[in-house]
Structure 1
Amino acid sequence: MKKWLQNLVIAFLLMLLFFLPVKNVSGNGIDVSIENQTGFALKGLKISYFYNDKEIKIPSLKPEEHFKINVHPKEPFSETSMKILYTDFEGKHREEVIVGYFEKGYQGSAKVKAKSVDSSGVITFQVEEEIFDYFEALWT
Structure 2
Amino acid sequence: MKKFLVIITILLLGFIGLSKYIFAQDGFDIKVINETNKEISGIYLTYDHIKSDIIVPSIEQGEVYKLNVNPTETFVENAMKLQYKDKEEKLHTEYVIGYFEKGYSGKAEITIKSVDENGKLDIEIVQNASAY
State the TM-score bracket (shorter-chain normalisation): 0.7 to 0.9
Amino acid at match of 1:128: V
| Match 1:47 to one of 45, 52, 66 | 45
Judging changes above 3 Å, is the alpha-carbon distance between structure 1 residues 113 and 22 closer, same or farther for their aligned structure 2 residues? closer
Structure of greater Rg: 1
Paired residues of 2:39 and 2:58 also in contact (CA < 8 A): yes
Matches of 1:87 and 1:81 in 2, distance apart? 19
Distance 1:23 1:35 in 2: 30
Q: Provide the residue aligned with 1:79 in structure 2.
A: 77
Displaced runs of 4 or more, over 6 A:
21-24
Q: What is the alpha-carbon root mean square deviation over aligned residues? A: 2.1
Identity of counterpart residues, as a percentage?
Answer: 34
- Give the Cα–Cα distance (whole angstroms) in 2 for the partners of residues 86 and 33 of structure 1: 17
Alpha-carbon contact 2:51-2:73 (below 8 Å) kept: no
**TM-score after normalising by structure 2:** 0.81
The structural deviation recorded for 1:53 is 2.8
Q: Is 1:93 the equivalent of 2:91?
A: yes
Q: CA deviation at 1:22?
A: 8.9
Q: Shift of the alpha carbon at 1:96? A: 0.8
Unaligned runs of 5+ in 1: 1-15, 135-140
Q: What TM-score does the superposition give when structure 1 sets the normalisation length? A: 0.76
Partners in 1 of 2:20 and 2:58 — Cα distance?
38
